[in-house]
């Protein structure tokens, strides 16, 4: 189940992690590395080789972690969970469009169950704690030789233990961690195993969308004015203000403009900022 690959005695206790995986009834392979450029990149390579759904890659640190729109993701050794899960969801369009939002709900559920901490979701792929970013999620498709989608890799980066002063200056006022001092013993192992369990359970509801009410309940945008960026490819700095009013049945953000018109936005179309 757990494959040691360039692992050193670091933040994860391999024996405890194995125990937590057993308790969560996780049988898919988990590869644990000391450092990778990007867990998503490695997981995509494994997906292309045909590893089963649920297989996961975990790193103690990433030298080139990635977020949406090509942004870098701060992921130093110690204090975080940097995880990518290979998923083979149903081929229906609804399932693919809902995947990112489903993974968000799964991570929130795992955090709540293991730590008792309530988190919110900033559409479409960020998890927040006290109005600061705690976790980023990046889902990337893997296309086979026929040009069709073969798998999706869900990358999850969570700040578990880190004081505000440890973040780079550009993140110090916008990012946070679950714990600003030492995390309780065994919390990473338990949280990691719970995430794998919750992602499996939540992605089983992609076709019926039964997780969506929980996504709406956790949304930190609904009822608030937001600023929409990247509305025009020829002028990415153009910003439009709108009211976030709902999450549609495919996980899109429904906004209402000042003239009363409404639009449903989907992943990759815009960047949303809270006004």
Mean model confidence pLDDT for the chain: 87
Confirm if 48 and 148 have CB atoms less than 8 A apart: no
Is the CATH code 2.40.420.20 the one for domain 225-274? Answer: no
| Segment 105-123, tens digit of pLDDT | 999 999 999 999 999 999 9
What predicted TM-score, i.e. pTM, was given to this entire model? 0.90
How many helices (H) and strands (E) the chain has is answered by 5, 13
CATH of domain 2-218: 3.30.930.10
User: Does the structure show a pLDDT above 80 at 214?
Assistant: yes
Which residue is listed with tokens 């293991």? Answer: 114
Q: Give the start-to-end residue ranges of the domains of the chain.
A: 2-218, 225-274
Closest by Cα among 183, 166, 185, 198 to 54: 198
Backbone phi, then psi, for 129, in 5-degree steps? -135, 120
| For residue 74, pLDDT beyond 80 | no
**Beta-carbon count within 10 A of 212 CB:** 19
What's the confidence (pLDDT) of residue 170? Answer: 78
Average pLDDT on 78-86 reads 91
Residue 189 reports pLDDT greater than 80: yes
Cα–Cα distance, 275 to 260 (Å, whole number): 18
Q: Which residue has the tokens 């890799």?
A: 153
Residues 55-69, mean pLDDT to the nearest whole number: 74
């Amino acid at each position: 189940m757990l494959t040691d690959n360039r692992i050193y005695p670091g933040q994860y206790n391999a024996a405890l992690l194995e125990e937590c995986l057993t308790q969560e009834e996780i049988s898919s392979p988990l590869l644990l590395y000391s450092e990778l450029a990007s867990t998503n990149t490695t997981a995509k390579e494994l997906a292309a080789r045909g590893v089963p759904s649920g297989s996961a890659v975990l790193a103690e640190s990433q030298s080139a972690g990635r977020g949406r729109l090509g942004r870098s993701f701060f992921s130093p050794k110690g204090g975080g969970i940097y995880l990518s899960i290979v998923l083979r969801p149903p081929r229906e369009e609804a399932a693919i469009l809902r995947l990112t939002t489903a993974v968000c709900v799964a991570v929130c559920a795992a955090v709540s169950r293991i730590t008792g901490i309530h988190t919110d979701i900033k559409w479409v792929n960020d998890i927040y704690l006290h109005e600061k970013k705690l976790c980023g999620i990046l889902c990337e498709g893997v296309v086979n030789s026929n040009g069709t989608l073969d798998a999706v890799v869900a990358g999850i980066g969570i700040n578990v233990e880190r004081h505000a002063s440890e973040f780079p200056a550009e993140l110090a006022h916008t990012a946070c961690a679950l714990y600003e001092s030492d995390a309780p013993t065994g919390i990473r192992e338990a949280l990691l195993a719970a995430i794998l369990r919750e992602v499996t359970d939540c992605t089983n509801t992609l076709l019926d969308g039964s997780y969506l009410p929980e996504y709406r309940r956790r949304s930190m945008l609904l009822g608030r004015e937001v600023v929409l960026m990247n509305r025009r490819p020829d002028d990415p700095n153009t910003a439009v203000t709108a009211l976030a009013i709902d999450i549609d049945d495919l996980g899109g953000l429904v906004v209402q403009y000042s003239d009363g018109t409404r639009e449903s936005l989907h992943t990759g179309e815009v960047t949303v900022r809270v006004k």
